[in-house]
Structure 1
């Protein structure tokens, strides 16, 4: 198996609200139209999808999927090219309806980061300084 994550799907309580947050509030590109059952967002890395959480259990009908949006032991991250972008993006997210969970501050690993949660409670870290970012937007790991 190639080491690749192609798509991340977030189960959301209200698809329209979540689409507005990511598309209108954060400016993420999508071809979503009202009435579509799922929204796909093209990023510089993995594709992100929003899907009604009430429908997610139908995808895995053996009962092992327990639909619950929000903080679940996973943190999504957006790494910035410049330190000041962290504060700018946290403000943008807050203005779009996110809840600021931790204001940006210097980190133990020598970077700078802060956290917000989206309308469904999914946690996002906005960070600078951990890894350089390539021309294509991907993190450059050592």
Structure 2
């Protein structure tokens, strides 16, 4: 039987670990005990989120660290209502993030906007009425 694929940790390569740590703490996350000057770990309701030097992360993967712009990836913060989406975007901007696209109704029946953290990692802030939360508060795609 194959090993189950579980998204367990997301690492963001950042320019300044202290700045990124402060940003995510301003959003309500708390640095985990094993964090240090080289990496910060945050427990979420899903995978662990970590911030790590972009250069060190690239070196660890044996890839060049240069290059920016759209990275072909976005992270999503799913919320229970359109009002919660609007509140979260205000909170991100107040914490030092950037509004990329104001939230609006989507063609698929949801409500979504985009913001970026201080290192331009793209976050979709979204309410998807078709994706329920389970009893543990985790988003579930309908099966």
Q: TM-score, normalised by structure 2?
A: 0.88
Unmatched tracts of structure 1, length 5 or more: none
Q: TM-score, normalised by structure 1?
A: 0.89
Number of residues paired by the alignment? 138
Task: Describe the superposition over 1:10-62 as per-residue Cα deviations: whole angstroms up to 9, x where unpaired.
Answer: 00000000000001x2011222688531000100001111001121133133x
Aligned residues of 1:13 and 1:69 also touching (Cα < 8 A)? no
Unmatched tracts of structure 2, length 5 or more: none
Please report the RMSD computed on the Cα atoms of aligned residues, expressed in angstroms: 1.8
Tell me the SS of whatever aligns to 2:19.
helix
Runs of 4+ in 1 over 6 A off after TM superposition: none
Aligned residues of 1:7 and 1:47 also touching (Cα < 8 A)? yes
* Larger RCO: 1 or 2 (CA < 8 Å, sep 6+): 1
Residue equivalent to 1:125: 124
Residue equivalent to 1:54: 55
Residue equivalent to 2:136: 136
Task: Describe the superposition over 1:78-124 as per-residue Cα deviations: whole angstroms up to 9, x where unpaired.
Answer: 00012210000000000001110111100011000111000000000
For residues 71 and 138 of structure 1, what CA distance do their matches in structure 2 show? 27
Aligned residues of 1:12 and 1:69 also touching (Cα < 8 A)? no
